[in-house]
Amino acid sequence: MNLESWLSSHPYLRTLADFHAQIDSVLVQFSNTNPSLPAWDRYIDDFHAGIPLLRSSSITIDLEPAEKILDALVGHLKVAPGKLGEECRTLQEEIHREPDASRHAVEWLIDQAGFESNCPGLLRYLGWTALSRHLQPIMMAFSNWRDDEKWFRNYCPTCGARAAMAQLLGAELGRCRLFCCSRCFTRWRYRRTGCAFCENEDDHSLRVLAIKGEGGLRVDYCEECRGYLKTYDGQGDERVFLANWTSLHLDILARDRALNTYAESPFQL
List the chain domain ranges.
11-145, 149-256
Model confidence, pTM: 0.90
Give the model's pLDDT for residue 192.
Answer: 87
Q: Is 149-256 a domain of CATH 3.90.1670.10?
A: yes
Give the model's pLDDT for residue 113.
Answer: 85
Give the model's pLDDT for residue 189.
Answer: 94
Give the per-residue SS3 of the chain.
Answer: CCHHHHHHHCHHHHHHHHHHHHHHHHHHHHCCCCCCCCCHHHHHHHHHCCCCHHHCCCCCCCCHHHHHHHHHHHHHHCCCCHHHHHHHHHHHHHHCCCCCHHHHHHHHHHHCCCCCCCCHHHHHHHHHHHHHHHHHHHHHHHHHHCCHHHCCCCECCCCCCEEEEEEEECCHHHCEEEEEECCCCCEEEECCCCCCCCCCCCHHHEEEEECCCCCCEEEEEECCCCEEEEEEECCCCHHHHCCCHHHHHHHHHHHHCCCECCCCCCCCC
Give the model's pLDDT for residue 45.
Answer: 97
Give the model's pLDDT for residue 269.
Answer: 43
Flag residues of the chain having pLDDT under 50.
Answer: 269
Q: What is the pLDDT of residues 167-198, one digit of tens each?
A: 998 766 568 999 999 899 999 999 888 999 99
Give the model's pLDDT for residue 33.
Answer: 75
